[in-house]
Chain A
Amino acid sequence: MQKAQRLLDLAAFLLRAAEPVSWREIQEQFPEDYSGTGEAAIRKFERDKSELLELGIPVRYVAGDEDLPAGYLIDKDEFYLPDLGLPPEDLALLYVAGSAALAGGTFPYARDLAHALNKLSFAARAPGASEAAAVAALRLSTGEEPRPDQGEVAGRLESLSQAVAMKKRVHLVYAGAERRERTERDVDPYGLYQKGGTWFLVGHCHLRKALRSFHLGRIDSLEVNGAAPRTPDFKPPRDFSLAEVATREPWEYRVDPPLRCRILLHPPAGGGSVAAEARDSFGPRARLREEPNGAVLVEVAATNHEAIVRHVLSFGDRAEILAPRSLRERARSVLRALARRSA
């Protein structure tokens, strides 16, 4: 019998049974599949059982007692997707966020996400407006022209998602930032994060012997260790925090010695407070002080000097570096050169 058919038959058989089913009865029902010598047949059944569990179908063995025979069963309460019991606004969040993520074309576990969104209509009593909003989010979030490398990135995300979940080591061919050098390395994948619409893999790099992030667009090829797929290759350290890595600003990457920088963010021509904008742009670790004229004085610690200069320059005349002098000078010389070229 084909595997898919066997698994579904097995699930149907156990779901329908009124009481636990003995191994002998299972063998009788599936003579072609679980016959043969005891050991091999049991191992095959155990593999099927784990596959069913991975599909969300828990098969359990119960030891018998006076009332019930010993055997296997699927708890109906443990099988059916329950009503999530969430208020409409939470459902709207799940629907809309899930649809938008899927529409973007690159999201880890994209296939699982699509399944999950489908199942949601069974997990809520009256999805109504939320489901309609999800359809709209799906349409609006779908870029009109997918980027050329999107298919590749999506494929790598899918493989890496599996590697992260199963804790399997991966082998990367990785292009450096300027695409000049190419390196090969083994990485223990700890997690995946998105920043500015781009996905990164973070993990322990065996080449650099340290925690590193990898831009998915720059992974030229990727191989997941296929040996012993259900046995983890590593254990992520207890103190590893993905959120901490993911919320690091570019000027917080460890490239240079730390420098305290003071930046003045001016209000736009139309006036108004820029505190909210400053918080968004300079992140949660920036110290802010509002000036009487509506400008905000921002203080950050930069360990990547060029990155903070670039960030400040992107505001045009709305921001300037006050200190340190070296970075103020760097910004000035960039602008001078640009002014000369565009004269």
Chain B
Amino acid sequence: MRRSRAAAPKTDARDRLRRVLFLVPYAVRHPGIPVRDLARKCGITEQQLLDDLDFLLGVGCPPFAPDDFLDLYVEGDRVYVALHQSFSRPPRFTESEAAALAAAARALGGDGQERMLRALRESVPRDRRPSFDELVNRIYAGSPPAKHSLLGRIQQAIAERRALQLRYFTASRGAEGERRVHPYTVAQQFGHWYLYGHDESRGKALPFRLDRIRECAITDTRFEPPSEAELAKARLFSDTTGSPVRIRLGRKSAAWALARAGQIRVLSRSARGDTLVEVASAGEDWAIRFVLSFAGDAEVVAPPSARRHFGDAVRRALARYR
């Protein structure tokens, strides 16, 4: 995965300590966990994990008696740790761990905001709580995409695996309709939040934008969770809506457009400062709205049908100003 967080973590002392303080209790709780799984859980390579285990073997050496601390061995490709009970659970959250989690949760929202914030605060060591209080107000990851009560119901339905009855606004048809959905999870892409779940009447899993769910109710119907294999295939946007749309952006617009989140691919840049880009899967309607928002400094160039629809949209909008 091309992600910076997947980049090799520095093996500085603190990183290593934080890791082993988690991996020891985790391995104790999961005896015989495969090296590969434990490494993945810790976000490191198998080699790094083996290095960490080596490091742990050195801990508690004289003047300690080694068996004072922990007994650790790798058999085949599995890890076994038996230890002194000192490290049976990980340490409390650091203030930045708790604050990052709180910021993420606040951006999604839900009924339990205050409860959750209190619980996170109390799981930070007492001496660090003032720092937590301050830090939590230094990250703002977005406004909740829907009413707290609505999100609370969605979260409860996910946790209890119960079907949801939704009143949903479909933007492409410009109409609201009733949907019955088995909520699998909530996920975020391109700055929007989606409820992802199985739509009973359409017979497949689909994304529902949270800000377009007008109302929802938890039903008594329980559902079976999807298999791991099924989830592995899941995509928020599996079918691209129509062919990719090409857009020409003026110099000013390009600076803005390319700094935004979204699936925008640069094809070429002209000497005049124009940039030709392609928007792959967001759909023609989105592309037209996007282009209009640049107030004349951008236009749809291809495919011909999209260009025609763009022209129609411009003329219809202009008609409002006659």
Interface residues of B in 219-244 (CB under 8 A from A): 225-226, 231-232, 234-236
Chain B residues with Cβ under 8 A from A339's Cβ? 311, 314-315, 318
Counting CB contacts under 8 A, is A225 at the interface? no
Chain B residues with Cβ under 8 A from A139's Cβ? 231-232, 234
Cβ–Cβ contact A55 & B91, under 8 A: yes
Counting CB contacts under 8 A, is B130 at the interface? no
What's the minimum C-beta distance from A8 to chain B, rounded to whole angstroms? Answer: 5
Chain B residues with Cβ under 8 A from A164's Cβ? 135, 138-139
Cβ–Cβ contact A9 & B64, under 8 A: yes
Chain B residues with Cβ under 8 A from A314's Cβ? 289-290, 292-293
Chain B residues with Cβ under 8 A from A271's Cβ? 174-175
What's the minimum C-beta distance from A299 to chain B, rounded to whole angstroms? Answer: 18
What's the minimum C-beta distance from A135 to chain B, rounded to whole angstroms? Answer: 7
Chain B residues with Cβ under 8 A from A96's Cβ? 108, 155, 158, 185-187
Name the contact of A336 in the complex, choosing from B18, B68, B226, B318 (C-beta under 8 A): B318
Interface residues of A in 1-33 (CB under 8 A from B): 2-5, 7-9, 11-13, 15-16, 28-29, 31
Cβ–Cβ contact B5 & A337, under 8 A: no
Cβ–Cβ contact B97 & A116, under 8 A: yes
Interface residues of B in 1-47 (CB under 8 A from A): 1-5, 7, 9, 13-18, 20-22, 25-26, 41-43
Q: How far does the alpha carbon of A265 sit from the alpha carbon of B97 in the complex, in Å?
A: 43
Chain B residues with Cβ under 8 A from A31's Cβ? 63
Cβ–Cβ contact A105 & B155, under 8 A: no
Q: How far does the alpha carbon of A268 sit from the alpha carbon of B96 in the complex, in Å?
A: 45
What's the minimum C-beta distance from B91 to chain A, rounded to whole angstroms? Answer: 4
Counting CB contacts under 8 A, is B123 at the interface? yes
Q: How far does the alpha carbon of A294 sit from the alpha carbon of B322 in the complex, in Å?
A: 22
Interface residues on A, range: 35 or more
Q: How far does the alpha carbon of A74 sit from the alpha carbon of B215 in the complex, in Å?
A: 50
Cβ–Cβ contact A320 & B108, under 8 A: no
Counting CB contacts under 8 A, is B204 at the interface? no
Cβ–Cβ contact B261 & A147, under 8 A: yes
Counting CB contacts under 8 A, is B217 at the interface? no
The contact string, 1 if C-beta is below 8 Å from chain B, for chain A 136-157, is 1101111111110011001100
The contact string, 1 if C-beta is below 8 Å from chain A, for chain B 291-322, is 01111100100000001001101111111110
Known A88-B160, A108-B139; contact A136-B299, beta-carbon cutoff 8 A: no
What's the minimum C-beta distance from A161 to chain B, rounded to whole angstroms? Answer: 7
The contact string, 1 if C-beta is below 8 Å from chain A, for chain B 78-97, is 00000010111111111111
Known A94-B105, A108-B100, A111-B9; contact A316-B116, beta-carbon cutoff 8 A: no
Counting CB contacts under 8 A, is B270 at the interface? no
Q: List 14 A-B contacts (CB under 8 A).
A: A7-B17, A12-B59, A78-B92, A90-B155, A94-B101, A118-B41, A136-B234, A139-B234, A140-B189, A142-B3, A309-B295, A313-B295, A337-B296, A342-B311
Of all A-B residue pairs in the complex, the 10 with the closest CB atoms, nearest first, are A268-B174, A197-B261, A197-B191, A270-B175, A140-B187, A88-B159, A342-B311, A314-B293, A154-B4, A116-B97
